[in-house]
Amino acid sequence: MSDVTGHYERIACLSTEAVEVLYAIGAEDQIAGISGYTVYPARARAEKPKVSGFSSAKTERILAVNPDLVVAYSNMQSELCRELIAAGVEVHAFNQRSLSGIFRMIHVLSALTGRAERGAQLVAELQAQIAQARQLSAGWTSKPKIYFEEWNDPMMSCIGWVSELIGVAGGEDAFADLAGFHSAKERIIADPAEVVRRAPDIIIGSWCGKKFQPDSVIQRPGWAAVSAVRNGQVWEIKSPDILSPGPSAIRYGLPQLQKIIADWQKANSGELGAAQ
pLDDT tens track for 33-66 = 999 999 999 999 999 999 987 667 789 999 999 9
User: What integer pLDDT is reported at residue 90 of this predicted model?
Assistant: 97
H-assigned helices in the chain:
16-24, 44-47, 59-63, 78-86, 99-112, 116-137, 160-168, 193-198, 214-218, 227-230, 239-242, 247-248, 254-267, 269-275
Q: Are strands 31-35 and 11-13 parallel, antiparallel or unpaired?
A: parallel
> Do 193 and 251 fall within a single domain?
yes
- Based on the structure, what is the number of domains in the chain? 2
> Do 90 and 170 fall within a single domain?
no
> Do 72 and 154 fall within a single domain?
no
User: What integer pLDDT is reported at residue 6 of this predicted model?
Assistant: 74
> Do 145 and 197 fall within a single domain?
yes
**pLDDT < 50: residue spans in the chain:** 273-276
Note down the domain range covering 97: 11-124
Last residue of a domain, one of 124, 153, 185: 124
Output the domain CATH number for residue 193.
3.40.50.1980
In a domain, 104, yes or no: yes
In a domain, 203, yes or no: yes
Output the average pLDDT for the chain: 93
User: What integer pLDDT is reported at residue 141 of this predicted model?
Assistant: 86
In a domain, 222, yes or no: yes
> Do 52 and 146 fall within a single domain?
no
Cα 37 to Cα 15: distance, rounded to the nearest angstrom: 8
Residue 188 is given by DSSP the state B
> Do 116 and 146 fall within a single domain?
no
> Do 109 and 223 fall within a single domain?
no
In a domain, 129, yes or no: no
User: What integer pLDDT is reported at residue 270 of this predicted model?
Assistant: 59
> Do 240 and 148 fall within a single domain?
yes
> Do 214 and 98 fall within a single domain?
no
Cα 78 to Cα 52: distance, rounded to the nearest angstrom: 14
> Do 148 and 111 fall within a single domain?
no
> Do 252 and 144 fall within a single domain?
yes
The structure's pTM equals 0.93
